[in-house]
Chains A and B, each alone.
Chain A
Amino acid sequence: MKREKASNWSPEFQRAIEESGLADDINRCMFCGKCTGICPVAAINPSYSPRQIIRELLLGNHEQVLHSEEIWRCFWCANCLGYCPSDIKYPLIMLALRYYALEHGSGKKYATLFTRFVKNAYKDAVTFQPGKPQRLDQIKAMRTSIGLVPLRIVSDKGKEEYRKLYEITGTLEWLDNLHATEEVPLKFSFETGKLILGDFKENRSNLERGV
């Protein structure tokens, strides 16, 4: 992490994370450090500490956390939550933080790796369907040999509904923005806190107008 400066501190930060609606009261944290003690990532990466991230969050140290790699290390194993005496939902804070970072143009390289799954799912409504025909045939043969249907198929109706959800939530544009240059910040749904309904309605009316 970069050296902290008082000028980088902002109360907006904690507010934004709390308004995501994912993490409830982060102020309950008493910095006991059990999270860091039990964290498998902290055991391997000395620079990573859930306790420190929560501290920066509460102090509003924007720069320190947002543009660091640390927030991208978490395994989401939830050991911290399992051991936390204050019941801080650290994995959900991490989820919100990562989205918040993307929104501010940071860490896109960690998210763009996975957009192929999102695109696949748009096509098949199943995430890990392999693209290579050879592998697909292998799976079909294996499934058939153990008495299952050759592939897990989602009905046309299911696919159509699922695609519509992509469209009304603006996920396709969202993906384009994610792949755009670093300077274009992503417009996130939960910008105003809790998944913005405003944008959502706009998208939907676009859809209804056939735009």
Chain B
Amino acid sequence: MANQANQIERLSLIDRQRVAKLPTPEKIFLFLSCTGSIEYPGTEKAVKEIAEKLNMELVESEDQTCCTGYMLTCNALNPQLALAATARNLSIPESMGLDVAVFCNGCYGYIRELNHLIHSNPNFKAVADEALKVIGREYHGHVNIYHVQELWYRQLDRIKSLVKRPLTGLRVSSHYGCHYLVNKDVAIDDFKYPTFMEELYTALGATPVFYKERRACCGYSVGRGFTHREETVLPHLAKKMGSAAQEGVQLMTTTCPGCNVALDREQPALREKYGINVNIPVIDISQLIAFALGTPIEQLGFQANTTPVIPVLEQFL
């Protein structure tokens, strides 16, 4: 066990300087995600539970709308709208003087990219400015955007000290999702070989498991789950989840409720179509942390999952 932890640390490509520069905010704006609040509401709940335990005040705003990025990348709307909506959403925390914490890789990737475009290209900036003027808002770009997982990792030691239910012996594996790590200029870990989630598992007492297709994507991000499901997405997921099942993974965590939809909801189809024995509950990393920190299991929204989660976790109650 200790041996494995050492090994992970040795393989780690985590950028320690970046981690050290991350804030441990007392107050931060929580950017709500549509999927994380509707399909898997337990994600939203778990984020709030952990923040409370870390004395981090989360400020929400009912004025915040959908990040609009999914529809942009599905090519279903005028790209200007996504640009304007991002600037509008970010103007809300900016007017409060707060930074933003996001719990969905999708929202994170989209608002970060669109924010970057607004600031790197004067034409995009002009579009955003002009649109905001019509609705009486302004956005200057003084907002830092963080993913909650990096804020949790920043306080790894504190989380470790708060563990109420050590997850001893639980074989957990990761799915990192793509749109956090690809922000190579800010992400705390390596794109090709990330290990910070494995360190979090170790801190919770669980056993990290590496599987062959660990870095494979979920296949759902830009709507390919609707357009190319049978021919591309399902065979891809069969490869990914099949390789996880081979390693005896008991639980998988993601950092994106969108990935959860693909990895969890498609499991019956994988069993039926490919005859592979996949039965791996998929939850958000925040849900696993909140569970280990003592949040009652019925408060974590596991009933939303297609593959039952509770049978794997009830041994720790």
Task: Mark A residues whose CB is within 8 Å of B.
Answer: 21-22, 40-41, 43-45, 72-79, 81-83, 92, 95, 98-99, 102, 110-115, 117-118, 121, 125-130, 139, 142-143, 145-148, 152-155, 157-159, 161-162, 164-166, 168-171, 174-175, 178, 188-190, 193-195, 197, 200-201, 204, 207
User: How many of chain B's residues have a CB under 8 angstroms from any CB in A?
Assistant: 73
Q: List residues of chain A with CB within 8 A of the CB of B77.
A: 118, 171, 174-175
For residue B100, give the distance in angstroms from its CB to the closest CB of chain A: 16
Q: List residues of chain A with CB within 8 A of the CB of B62.
A: 153-155, 158
B39 CB within 8 Å of chain A: yes
Task: Name the residue on A nearest B45 (C-beta).
Answer: A146
B85 CB within 8 Å of chain A: yes
Given A40-B217, A82-B192, is A125 in contact with B224 using a C-beta cutoff of 8 Å?
no
State in angstroms the CA–CA spacing of A40 and B228 once bound together: 13
Most buried by A among B79, B113, B301: B79
Contact between B127 and A195, CB atoms less than 8 A apart: yes
The answer, among A79, A115, A128, A165, for a CB contact under 8 Å with B84, is: A165
Q: List residues of chain A with CB within 8 A of the CB of B73.
A: 76, 95
B310 CB within 8 Å of chain A: no
For residue B300, give the distance in angstroms from its CB to the closest CB of chain A: 7
Q: List residues of chain A with CB within 8 A of the CB of B127.
A: 195, 197, 200
Contact between B44 and A82, CB atoms less than 8 A apart: no
The answer, among B42, B134, B137, for a CB contact under 8 Å with A168, is: B134
Contact between A125 and B299, CB atoms less than 8 A apart: no
State in angstroms the CA–CA spacing of A155 and B227 once bound together: 33
Q: List residues of chain A with CB within 8 A of the CB of B182.
A: 78, 81-82
For residue B259, give the distance in angstroms from its CB to the closest CB of chain A: 11
Task: Name the residue on A nearest B295 (C-beta).
Answer: A146
Contact between A165 and B71, CB atoms less than 8 A apart: no
Task: Name the residue on A nearest B227 (C-beta).
Answer: A110
Contact between A162 and B301, CB atoms less than 8 A apart: no
Contact between B79 and A148, CB atoms less than 8 A apart: no
Q: List residues of chain B with CB within 8 A of the CB of A79.
A: 178, 215, 217
Q: List residues of chain B with CB within 8 A of the CB of A178.
A: 76
Contact between A41 and B232, CB atoms less than 8 A apart: yes
Contact between A164 and B134, CB atoms less than 8 A apart: yes
Q: List residues of chain A with CB within 8 A of the CB of B66.
A: 121, 125-127
The answer, among B64, B68, B181, B303, for a CB contact under 8 Å with A121, is: B68
Contact between B81 and A111, CB atoms less than 8 A apart: no
Given A21-B117, A82-B191, A148-B41, is A189 in contact with B227 using a C-beta cutoff of 8 Å?
no
The answer, among B126, B137, B181, B219, for a CB contact under 8 Å with A197, is: B126
State in angstroms the CA–CA spacing of A95 and B71 once bound together: 12
Contact between B232 and A44, CB atoms less than 8 A apart: yes
Given A165-B135, A195-B80, is A102 in contact with B75 using a C-beta cutoff of 8 Å?
yes
B130 CB within 8 Å of chain A: yes
Contact between B42 and A146, CB atoms less than 8 A apart: yes
Q: List residues of chain B with CB within 8 A of the CB of A22.
A: 117
Q: List residues of chain A with CB within 8 A of the CB of B148.
A: none
For residue B105, give the distance in angstroms from its CB to the closest CB of chain A: 11
Contact between A147 and B299, CB atoms less than 8 A apart: yes
State in angstroms the CA–CA spacing of A156 and B297 once bound together: 34
Given A117-B76, A148-B45, A168-B131, is A128 in contact with B34 using a C-beta cutoff of 8 Å?
yes
Given A146-B41, A194-B124, is A200 in contact with B71 using a C-beta cutoff of 8 Å?
no
Task: Name the residue on B nearest A136 (C-beta).
Answer: B38
Task: Name the residue on B nearest A119 (C-beta).
Answer: B76
Which B1-58 residues have a C-beta within 8 angstroms of A?
A: 32, 34-35, 37-39, 41-42, 44-45
Contact between A190 and B79, CB atoms less than 8 A apart: yes
For residue B81, give the distance in angstroms from its CB to the closest CB of chain A: 4
Q: List residues of chain B with CB within 8 A of the CB of A73.
A: 224, 228, 232
Q: List residues of chain A with CB within 8 A of the CB of B197.
A: none
Contact between B45 and A147, CB atoms less than 8 A apart: yes
Given A158-B64, A204-B130, is A189 in contact with B79 using a C-beta cutoff of 8 Å?
yes
For residue B304, give the distance in angstroms from its CB to the closest CB of chain A: 6
Given A73-B228, A77-B217, A81-B182, is A117 in contact with B63 using a C-beta cutoff of 8 Å?
no
B154 CB within 8 Å of chain A: no
Q: List residues of chain B with CB within 8 A of the CB of A194.
A: 121, 123-124
The answer, among A75, A117, A189, for a CB contact under 8 Å with B71, is: A117
